[in-house]
Amino acid sequence: MTASLPTPAPAVSPETQEFWAATAEGRLLLRRCDDCATVIWYPRAHCPACGSQHTSWMPASGRGTVYTFTVVHRSAVEGFRDALPYVVAYIELEEGPRVLTNIVDCDPASVVVGMPVTVVFHDTGAGSALFRFRPA
């Protein structure tokens, strides 16, 4: 394995404040439409499926599968350059949405589409944590 990925603090908005606060506690939250039950990613106050403004937070299982991925072998971004190679992936969560993240705690060559993964949290030191996934 390579060096740890950097953990830059995310930009937090009023719409995402509760999401990022939950990550600092080791919890993954998703929004769900109270009218049509669509599970929403990325966190926002309206439903992209029906336009409803009636949404609420729900706990996510933290489990999913690799939908697609790439192994990054070259990076011009300081910090990430020291962690080469690393995996950037779309994870299809059990709840339905696909999230863009990193796969960690494994050899990048071992990652395959369909691989079961589970969430882990990497503290940013700024009251939030980055959600990443590792093999289940």
pTM of the model: 0.93
Do residues 31 and 40 lie in contact, with contact meaning Cβ atoms separated by under 8 Å? yes
CA distance 29 to 21: 10
Element (H, E) at 17: helix 17-24
Residue ranges covered by each domain of the chain: 17-135
Residue 47 φ/ψ, nearest 5 degrees: -90, 125
pLDDT of residue 108: 97
Furthest CA-CA distance within the chain: 46
Low-confidence ranges of the chain (pLDDT < 70): 1-3
Identify residue 125 by its one-letter amino acid code: G
Summarised one tens digit per residue, pLDDT across range 6-15 is: 999 999 999 9
Reading the block at residue 13, the tokens are 């908005």
Distance CA 78, CA 86 (A): 14
Q: How far is CA 68 from the centre of its chain?
A: 14
Q: What percent of the chain has pLDDT over 90?
A: 95
The hierarchical CATH code for the domain 17-135 is 2.40.50.840
